[in-house]
């Protein structure tokens, strides 16, 4: 590592003083609280406010993380779409417990969610698939996501072949592609504060009710 970069990593500091968060002002329902924060993040100009880090664990207890896009708050949780045969899809097939993390830099906020994933119905997945740009639909067919390929040309040639095959035709949703909903059991809202005395408000689902507690930073 370059010495100047090493020095920067050790000395860079940020002051957190934009907002605060208390048990008195949060919604009783964490999904309503999340909806409010997400709306505020978009209003602040974050065009990728719906991007989150999805962490899964495979059958060997090896964790893996990647960025995914939130597409809805429905069915009591967080909805997203992907290839069922992908690395994350295979992980979730074997271990349905996952974690997701949203980070909104400009608002100095994080939201951390833990829970179980469930499949969305084929109908809902098909409706969303047909709403996607045509290029994205073709890419879902062309890419054997997470599989090793010999070169980019293989991918591009398959994409072009599918472009010709479905020219002026509807593109069917592939059977290996669809939606999930993460139904949360725990949600933490993190607000940066001065002197690293951050606000951490945690919701835990117990006895069919959301319990609200404060965590030490």
Report, as ranges of residue numbers, the positions in the chain whose pLDDT lies below 70: none
CB 179 within 8 A of CB 192: no
Q: How many structural domains are present in the chain?
A: 1
Q: Is residue 146 one of the residues assigned to a domain?
A: no
- Domain of residue 33, CATH code: 2.30.110.10
DSSP string for 2-41: -HHHHHHHHH------S----TTTS-SSHHHHHHHHHHHH
Q: How far is CA 105 from CA 15, 16, 110, 127, in A?
A: 12, 10, 8, 33
Helix, strand, or coil (residue 139): helix
Q: What is the pLDDT of residue 63?
A: 98
Q: Is residue 144 one of the residues assigned to a domain?
A: no
Task: Give this prediction's pTM.
Answer: 0.93
Q: Is residue 8 one of the residues assigned to a domain?
A: no
Strands 97-104, 77-83: pairing is unpaired
Domain of 37? Answer: 13-131+176-214
pLDDT tens digit sequence for 112-135: 999 999 999 999 999 999 999 999
Q: Is residue 67 one of the residues assigned to a domain?
A: yes
pLDDT tens digit sequence for 32-41: 999 999 999 9
Q: Is residue 191 one of the residues assigned to a domain?
A: yes
Q: Is residue 150 one of the residues assigned to a domain?
A: no
Q: Is residue 158 one of the residues assigned to a domain?
A: no
Residues taking part in catalysis: 196
């Amino acid at each position: 590592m370059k010495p100047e970069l090493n020095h920067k990593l050790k000395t860079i500091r940020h002051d957190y003083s934009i907002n605060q968060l208390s048990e008195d002002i949060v919604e009783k329902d964490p999904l309503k609280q999340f909806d409010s924060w997400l709306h505020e993040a978009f209003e602040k100009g974050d065009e990728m406010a719906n991007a989150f880090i999805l962490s899964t664990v495979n059958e060997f207890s090896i964790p893996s993380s990647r960025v995914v896009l939130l597409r809805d708050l429905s069915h009591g949780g967080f909805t997203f779409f992907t290839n069922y045969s992908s690395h994350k899809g295979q992980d979730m097939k074997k271990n349905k417990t996952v974690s997701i993390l949203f980070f909104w830099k400009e608002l100095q906020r994080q939201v951390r969610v833990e829970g179980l994933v469930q499949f969305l119905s084929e109908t809902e997945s098909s409706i969303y698939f047909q709403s996607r740009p045509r290029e994205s639909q073709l890419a879902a067919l062309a890419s054997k996501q997470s599989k090793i390929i010999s070169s980019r040309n293989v991918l591009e040639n398959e994409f072009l072949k599918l472009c010709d095959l479905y020219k002026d035709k509807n593109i069917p949703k592939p059977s290996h592609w669809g939606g999930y909903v993460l139904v949360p059991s725990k949600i933490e809202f993190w607000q940066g504060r001065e002197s690293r005395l951050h606000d951490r408000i945690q919701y835990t689902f117990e006895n069919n009710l959301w319990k609200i507690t404060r965590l030490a930073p």
